[in-house]
Amino acid sequence: MSEIAPPEEEPRHGDLPPEEDGQFADDQTLSPEFVRSVEDAIDAEDVEAYHGLTREIHPADVADLIGLLREEERDALIAMLGGAIPSEVLAELDEDLREDVIEAMEPAKVAEAVMELDTDDAAFVLEDLDEEKQAEILALAPIEDRLALRAALDFEEDSAGRLMQREFFASPAFWTVGQIIDRLRGTEDLPDKFYEVFVVDPAFKPMGSVPLSTLLKSKRETVIQDIMSSRDMRTVPATMDQEEVAYLFEQYNLISAPVVDDADRLIGMVTVDDVVETVREETQEDMLALAGVEADTGLSDTVFETVRSRFSWLAVNLGTAILASLVIAMFDAAIGQIVALAVLMPIVASMGGNAGTQTLTVVVRSLATKDLTATNAARIVFREALVGFLNGLIFAVIMGALAGVWFFASGWGTEAAAINLALVVGVAMIINLLAAGLAGILIPIGLQRAGADPAVSSAVFVTTVTDIVGFFVFLGLAAAVLLPAAG
């Protein structure tokens, strides 16, 4: 038998992480050893070795790799690659990193890379740059691309207009499946990937959509209007916020959606792969916002950027902590006489803070997923108040008993005083957990109705309420009930 050369094939690295190559660790992330080999190649300015190492991994993994490099190494890599990062890698970089990488690239190279991308990815790469840099790069692009990109950038950040790509496939209602397939085979200017044919009326208004799988299952002579569905299509206005777009995709299990202008004319398409990222980012932003971390920060920020981004929330928290301290200071005479109050007061405040955060987190999520709406708000407010009250009751009994025994056993007061202290702790616990439940739901709902993002500012209000109510009720009751007894 003569030797037959194996057919030319794309490198295989599709399936499981190719453990034999050691590029990936068990958790599917790049292995430290692999990253170190790449760093060595960069240090040695060995382009060949770098390409040899990275040729077989996906652009998304190359983007992760760049995120793992130190700043000097990143700059050295860009220089070594002739001032450019491949466009497909650029589109996959994390937001906090992309800006730094593009700053380090030559404008001409950025322009070149951007032109190779679909409009949504291109706008995504350009949007974080300052206007000067943007203009510089756009000036280097061919007129047609420049106009398309300017149009994309004219839409607000986080709008459907930014998220969409201008490449899509639309058909008039009277075309047959055969005509459409013939046209698809002949047309050059199609999106890289698409999942549905949008059926439009003569005014280019979307009437319905046909999944490609339905198209493929239908006979050539079938008229597209007969297989289109309008129920499974959701038309997205270009001005819609991406959070709303993500809601539509999740609620109606969409794969792609037509984007329309003010006159309801089809101008673009949003696909689910962009939305998956939005879903994660929006939930994550809520999560970070509740903890007082700015949304667009990441591990690639410098120490100085991180200190600054965390500072503002800590400063606000300092303000509320001082407020709470002023409440404590009102009762310094009582504390001076019964030091046990200083020992017990953080417990009441802390329980309130935790209960409030529980409610707040559930409510912020329910508002985002639209499970909590005008229809059921009153019922859920009542429910949260009741839950707060009931947990307050349980912990009032537990903590009241503990405090009474502790107070009595340590010899701080008489049996009657211990019972009074137990009652004070119990009542304060009930009131604070009720306040926590109410604050945890009323504050985010109120902020949302006022047009603010409930995730961003609720937490500080809720803990202020629970701290102040906790300290005030506990110390106030203690001063009223115990001081005559102790004094």
Q: Of residues 401-420, which lie at the interface with a second copy (CB under 8 A)?
A: 402
Residues 319-358 that bind a second copy (CB under 8 A): 321-322, 324-325, 328-329, 332, 335-336, 339-347, 349-351, 354-355, 357-358
Q: Of 143 and 216, which has the nearer Cβ to a second copy? A: 216
C-alpha 280: how far from chain center? 5
- Pick from 50, 155, 194, 198 the residue near a second copy by CB under 8 A: 194
Would you say 109 or 361 has its CB closer to a second copy?
361
- How many residues touch a second copy under the rule CB under 8 A: the total is 141
The string over 249-266, giving b where at least 16 C-beta atoms fall within 10 Å of a residue's C-beta and e elsewhere, is beeeebbbbbbbeeeeeb
* Token pair listed for 425: 């702790």
Q: Could you tell me the maximum CA-CA distance found in the chain, to the nearest angstrom? A: 109
At closest approach, how far in Å is the CB of 142 from a second copy?
24
Binding to a second copy by residue 486, rule CB under 8 A?
A: no
How big is the chain, counted in residues?
487
Residue 147 interacting with a second copy (CB under 8 A)? no
Report the C-alpha gap between 286 and 302 in whole angstroms: 23
Q: What is the DSSP letter of 20?
A: G
Shortest reach from residue 3's CB to a second copy, in Å = 21
Q: Report how far residue 378's alpha carbon sits from residue 390's, in angstroms, rounded to the nearest whole number.
A: 18
Q: Convert residues 283-312 into a mask of x (bound to a second copy by CB under 8 A) and - (unbound).
A: xx-xxx-xxxx---xxx---x--xx--xx-
Q: Single out the residue of 176, 218, 420, 432 in contact with a second copy (rule: CB under 8 A).
A: 218
Binds a second copy by CB under 8 A, chosen from 73, 232, 261, 296: 232
User: Is 174 a residue that touches a second copy (CB under 8 A)?
Assistant: no
Residue 280 contacts a second copy per CB under 8 A: yes
DSSP 467-479: HHHHHHHHHHHHH
DSSP state of 156: P
CA 478 – CA 428 distance, rounded (Å): 10
Residue placing its CB nearer to a second copy in the complex, 140 or 402: 402
Closer to a second copy by Cβ: residue 122 or 355: 355
List residues bridging with 171 in a β-sheet. 199
DSSP for 326-393? HHHHHTHHHHHH-THHHHHHHHHHHHHHHHHHHHHHHHHHHHHTT-S-TTTHHHHHHHHHHHHHHHHH
CB of 403 to a second copy, least distance (A): 9
The least CB distance from residue 153 to a second copy, in Å, is: 22
The reply on whether position 483 binds a second copy by CB under 8 A is no
**What tokens were used for 212?**
């490609």
In whole angstroms, how close is the CB of 281 to a second copy at the nearest point?
A: 9
137 or 348, CB closer to a second copy?
348
CB 152, min distance to a second copy, A: 19
Burial of 270 (0-12, 13-18, 19+ CB in 10 A): buried
For a second copy, the binding residue among 76, 115, 223, 255 (CB under 8 A) is 255
Phi-psi region of 214 (alpha: psi -120 to 50; beta: other; left: phi over 0): alpha
Contact window for a second copy (CB under 8 A) among 110-118, 130-138, 141-149, 380-388: 380-388
Look at phi and psi of residue 28 and say left if phi exceeds 0, alpha if psi is from -120 to 50, else beta.
left
Query: Among 50, 395, 461, 472, which residue sits at the site for a second copy (rule: CB under 8 A)?
Result: 395
Contact positions with a second copy (CB under 8 A) in 47-106 = 58, 60-61, 64, 67-68, 70, 94
First to last CA, the chain: 109
Among 19, 21, 32, 452, interactor with a second copy by CB under 8 A: 32
Q: Select 291 or 480, whichever has its Cβ closest to a second copy.
A: 291
Pick the closer one to a second copy by CB: 60 or 147: 60
Answer yes or no whether residue 450 interacts with a second copy by CB under 8 A.
no
